[in-house]
Chain A
């Protein structure tokens, strides 16, 4: 670790002002569960750290209109304990089954999203359910879709001086069921592949929307748009799960296996898609 100056702004505006003042020298730190490791092995060496821990407006879960607004510095442990209705319970479940207890206690959802490691479950989560990401900068506030927030090749498109302040999840009516499946070698490891399946049904039980999102095995989570939209109108009982899994693999990881790791990723995505679909279609309104 290199020496750094640790700054503790009291609100978002002050955080943005400090980032503007220190320019590229400054980095934002929230729970520190990714950044501290990089600081320790000196792969990151920012002279200034702007901590968001003392900014009350950035933490906590609240409902605004239809949306569920999760402050960026809400820890995974806090999310786990939040009693969320309908499909949003999956947000708490995802937060409660990632990494290990110390990481969940310190780590924040916003920190995970900004670290943007595709193996982190929250990237797949926000992409898969169509959350929006609220970013504050000296130019003001803007709200981004995941596709706008993440860079296509990996990482984020945040500019120096930007602060992710909140994640705006759609309301309970957006989806009838959301299922998250992942595979990791050891229980505390980051995922090797993850799949999120979000469904909304018509009153007659046909699929009004189906969104299958693949994470971890790709540089940034990918929604299998074609596969999902092709199934709209199909009755849940008529979905050919194996065929959908094949389509997702073809759409998200096209081509034939060149490396064993890529071959394996396709197998995992296929298996996880099947599992997520089966669960989502079995109890779509749970």
Chain B
């Protein structure tokens, strides 16, 4: 008798979360088959182009489009005057304003170079460009306010006219205050107070995939479909519907492949409104994709800051206080700009539990490009100032900067730990990250044996994972999950993947929870008709917030699948397990019912279902984080959890050319439970590169008239692959989040926050030059070295100690923040709102 071969026994299904599963997204991208916004072609499609202001600040005398209308191929032309009273201004929702301050075109006044003046739609894009040249504009140019402090000066011209912000009529549209403990007393009592004025640069999102959209209005159904290269479909849908005053269920936002955004596509833009209006007027699809110069000029840039920052320490190195006055440059408009100061400063206080904090911030309009969200959202700016102050304090105290940081980083005995600022730190490995990163760069050895013109620097930060924006009280994402009748699974989400690998990451979660093969899971493209409501992809929230919604949906669907299986198998749910695409009796993984059978019962053979079971296997789960709103004192736990980042830079400065090369760089992060290490490492590399660009090259160079002089990739110095050091020293030290059920933390922005300060500290170590402005270009580096030599100085501040520096050099010269309270808004104060019944007004007097 021959012996039968042993029957293969199944092993338990392999869990995918935690593994470097190759990305589902890569095939289309690597083979060039991915379809981006400029690839969207619809039958009968027209092409629109925008005429943008050639000057930064002007009154619009007239715009004559009559000649353009006669040009070959031109179908329609619009300018600001055509739309007055026909569209609603926007920007109120995100900024928490009473009325919006954004319009599709400048109407009476141009506020920045590149602002929309008119638009043409034609049969071809070349005809549209030709017609733009036929539009006659008459502008009365006004002096441009480029510098945010100049924009606040008494007598400075008013940029936004006709809009009353909380703080009156000036160019300040919001103020920010933090009052934790007593920073003034801490300064009195401190053994060491270090202080410095720091400034930061404007940085572009510089996504390679341009901003753009294709609008397609159906004149019969009266439904507007808009394809847009955006990070948030519901922000586009809801604001667009509001602007056009049409029902939100008549606006459908669809998403092509989005080739990155970095925060620069996390809002609605005028071009989306303009293309929609054209399509609604003409009943034809309208393509409107911006050129690179337009994106530089108008696509939102990182907000620049001036910080008058002070750090207080005891002799033993304990940080006791932080005080800061911030002038925050939001450009001419900004949907998100004021939030950048709030959140970036709140979270920027980490990873120290500073007991006394006093911050005053003025959020200012200038005649420059709109400020907005950009990777790091204010944290790189805060860290640039604070982490350099930490090094300055270490020098005053005669302490090793590593030791000073180790003494102060959050390292509680128990979690969750609440900081004086109100952040609830549910877990962190910051202390270990700090040491791992420093050791990897050879910190102790390099400090012991300094090499001329080489230096090392540290910086630490924590990045929020998700955010409850102060103006915008929500922090949710949602997933709809459907087990299809062939055993495949479709994930629906409105959070746009644009580099975050949602298709891979969510499929890993679903595969583990539902026992479905990874290859059977598909993420549907975001579409406001089919996708559940969610806020979008920003704030490093994908893995933690969207991931949690996906986990909840997976659990719900699993429970429903098991309920059907238990009924069919006449078993108890507790005796069943799920895996290898089937439900089986525990211990017998080769037996059981395939999911496709159970799914077909739920749809096609509903008599097989348990009595009372609602058919189909489709569930929705929404997760809103347990975060807090910002308190009146600036405190609050705005983020669901916090990712630690400790970075160490080793730089070499060429004393003949001023070129700064980062020769080695180590990053240690706490990203909690990592779903896909490959993806997270990619995020850290990309985050680092943006930080590197911020510190060593990128900037919006404006002349005195507000012209952006480097609006092209040839002249805007974004780093390229050859500028990167070998990033072989990337470490994860996971401290799983205790709040997020799966333990995840955000990964996308941890790599950016510490980079400018770490490199700045390393440059100081190498040269004795403390850069207080960004970026550190070779020219500035070399001129600083020469001036330092000329003065015979041991240490030198650039630009503060340059002979031609005109700003304040010492605290005695620093400006004082205006502490006036916000104006209490009262409808009765508005002309035309006399309410006869309201006698109280007479007694109370006007709030002004």
Q: Which positions in A face B, CB cutoff 8 Å?
A: 1-3, 41-42, 183, 185-189, 260-261, 263-264, 267-268, 271, 274-275
Contacts and interface: CB of A to CB of B under 8 A. Distances in A.
Contact of A261 (B129, B657, B717, B779): B779
A183 B126 contact: no
Contact of A260 (B697, B714, B723, B779): B779
18 contacts: A2-B126, A3-B126, A41-B293, A183-B659, A185-B697, A185-B778, A186-B719, A186-B720, A186-B722, A186-B723, A188-B722, A260-B779, A260-B780, A264-B658, A264-B779, A264-B782, A267-B782, A271-B657
B706 to A, nearest CB: 20
B722 A1 contact: no
Interface residues of B, number: 22
Contact of B657 (A2, A3, A188, A268): A268
Contact of B783 (A186, A187, A263): A263
B293 A271 contact: no
B786 interface: yes
Contact of B656 (A3, A42, A260, A271): A271
A82 to B, nearest CB: 25
Interface of B: 126, 129-130, 293, 656-659, 697, 714, 717, 719-720, 722-723, 777-780, 782-783, 786
B275 to A, nearest CB: 22
Contact of B129 (A42, A186, A188, A267): A42
Nearest to B293: A41
A2 B128 CA distance: 11
A188 B720 contact: yes
Contacts of B782: 264, 267
A189 B778 CA distance: 14
Contacts of B697: 185-186
Closest 10 CB pairs of A and B: A271-B656, A264-B779, A187-B722, A183-B657, A267-B782, A185-B717, A271-B657, A260-B783, A186-B720, A264-B782
Contacts of A3: 126
Contacts of A260: 779-780, 783
A1 B49 CA distance: 14
Contacts of A263: 783, 786
B720 A185 contact: no
A70 B721 CA distance: 33
Contacts of B657: 183, 267-268, 271
Contact of A185 (B126, B293, B777): B777
A260 B784 CA distance: 11
Nearest to B697: A185
Tell which of B656, B717, B723 has the most Cβ of chain A within 10 Å: B656
A267 B779 CA distance: 9
A185 B722 CA distance: 11
Nearest to A183: B657
Residue in B657, B714, B723, B777 whose Cβ sees the most chain A Cβ within 10 Å: B657
Contacts of B779: 260-261, 264
A106 to B, nearest CB: 16
A179 to B, nearest CB: 16
Nearest to A257: B783
Contacts of A1: 126
A189 B719 CA distance: 11
A187 B777 contact: no
A261 B658 CA distance: 13
B720 A264 contact: no
A268 B723 CA distance: 20
Contacts of A189: 714, 717
Nearest to A265: B779
A240 B245 CA distance: 77
Contacts of B126: 1-3
A104 to B, nearest CB: 15
Nearest to B779: A264
Contacts of B714: 189
Contacts of B720: 186-188
B719 to A, nearest CB: 7
B640 to A, nearest CB: 39
Contacts of A41: 293
Contacts of B786: 263, 267
Nearest to A100: B720
Nearest to A260: B783
B122 to A, nearest CB: 14
Contacts of B658: 264, 267
A100 B787 CA distance: 35
Nearest to A190: B714
A3 B73 CA distance: 14
A61 B792 CA distance: 54
A264 B697 CA distance: 16
A263 B779 CA distance: 9
A1 B129 CA distance: 9
A268 B656 CA distance: 7
A5 to B, nearest CB: 15
Given A260-B783, A263-B783, A267-B782, 13 more contacts: A185-B697, A185-B777, A186-B720, A186-B723, A188-B720, A188-B722, A189-B717, A264-B658, A264-B782, A264-B783, A267-B657, A267-B783, A275-B656
B406 to A, nearest CB: 36
A42 B659 CA distance: 35
B717 A186 contact: yes
A285 to B, nearest CB: 26
Nearest to B804: A260
Contacts of A187: 720, 722-723
A37 to B, nearest CB: 8
A3 B126 CA distance: 9
A183 B658 CA distance: 10
B652 to A, nearest CB: 15
B74 to A, nearest CB: 16
Nearest to A268: B657
B650 to A, nearest CB: 20
A206 B657 CA distance: 30
Nearest to B785: A267
B170 to A, nearest CB: 32
Nearest to B720: A186
Contacts of A42: 129
